[in-house]
Amino acid sequence: MKHLFSLTIVVIFICQALTAQHGIDSIVSAVEQHNTTLLSLRKNAEAELLASRAGIFLQNPEISYNHLWGSPAITGNRNDLSITQSFDFPTAYAYRNQIADLSGEKVIAAYEKEKMAILLEATQNCIDLVYANALKIIYAKRLENARQIAKSFEARFQSGEINVLDFHKARLNLLNMQQEAEKNERERGLLLATLTSLNGGKAVVLTDSVFVPQAVDTAFEAFVANARNNNPSLRLLARDMALSQKQEKLVSALNLPKFQAGYMSESVVGQQFQGLTVGMTLPLWENKNTLKYQRARTVAIKVSADGEQLRFYNELKALHGKAIKLQASIADYKKNLALADNSALLNKALEAGEISLISYLFEQSFYIESQLRVLDSEKELAQIIAVLQQYQ
């Protein structure tokens, strides 16, 4: 029977944990679907993708027609027709297409970066709500216990067993418990309101009060290599780098001659001339220093990208190490906490008058503080894991 009871407790804990994870995941999925900022960003990204393909084609052809009246009239009229097409050096169009592709990838990476930030905010708020739900259970038990103590002390005060000081202490303890419970309820309400706002105004429900135990992969280098590939901020910098390099080549191509080709005809009384027309533009001054600027910009982007890579690596390494330490600390704390719960014995001793209320509250505070410390650690671990897992 003892083993069966232990197994039942484990099964209940696992079910609660899985339900909590499912609850958070479903809310985050709903936020991804309904968040108004994300909806706006998606529409903007669609427009930016279209814009990235603009300006990659040939310039518009030019058509001109001249009708000139002759003087004296006997000379007749003159009619000119000209159709010309201008175009850059051919390699410029190849680079423009490559730049358009990279610009589209940059738009997608920028959207993914914003989406990741919003979904992480939703996840962190869900974690805070699970924490507040867990506090609600703890505070409910403490509040009920404080009510029982206050009720018992009132009866004992009426019968003359205790003095007015002990009676007031019991009432003050109840008032403190009520204030803590009410403060937590206000925090829960604020978190629910925040999640509702993130979910596009649609109300959410999350009653879970158990943090899901999640193992942290100790192979950090493999983890960070995968995280780099899935980090939209780093992808955005990489696209910026590639884009700047392609723009260097485009600027070089635009520093080569431009050409015009077309058809031209001229007709006067009794005569008509027609044939091909060609021309060339020499870019001597228009693009001066443009290539130097673009090369300097590429260097600046590379420095920024290298710095961001290092910052990202160090940040993840610090979080990863902290998560592993928290895991071990929580496991050890929980193991010892289960052996330290002497609430039942303290209640009996207080009821029997063997200890004072001050001694009772002092003894209880050790266990309660340990409970809250474990809960704080679980919340912190869950928040760290949320940051790490967003790159998986």
pLDDT for 358 equals: 65
CATH class of 2-61+90-258+289-389: mainly alpha
* pTM across the whole model: 0.80
Residue 1 DSSP symbol: -
pLDDT for 357 equals: 67
Helix intervals (H) in 159-231 = 164-198, 220-229
Query: Which residues lie closer than 8 Å to 243 by C-beta, 6 or more apart?
Result: 99, 102, 103, 106
Domain boundaries, the chain: 2-61+90-258+289-389
pLDDT for 22 equals: 55
Contact 41, 114 (CB under 8 A): yes
pLDDT for 183 equals: 95
pLDDT in 10s for each residue of the chain, 392 residues: 333 333 333 333 334 443 444 589 999 999 999 999 999 999 999 998 888 888 788 888 899 999 888 888 777 888 889 999 888 888 888 888 988 898 899 999 999 999 999 999 999 999 999 999 999 999 998 888 888 888 878 887 888 877 888 888 888 988 998 999 999 999 999 999 999 999 999 999 999 999 987 878 778 888 898 899 899 999 999 999 999 999 888 888 888 888 889 999 988 877 888 888 888 888 777 777 888 888 898 999 899 999 999 999 999 999 999 999 998 888 888 877 766 566 666 667 766 676 666 666 666 666 778 888 889 999 999 999 999 999 88
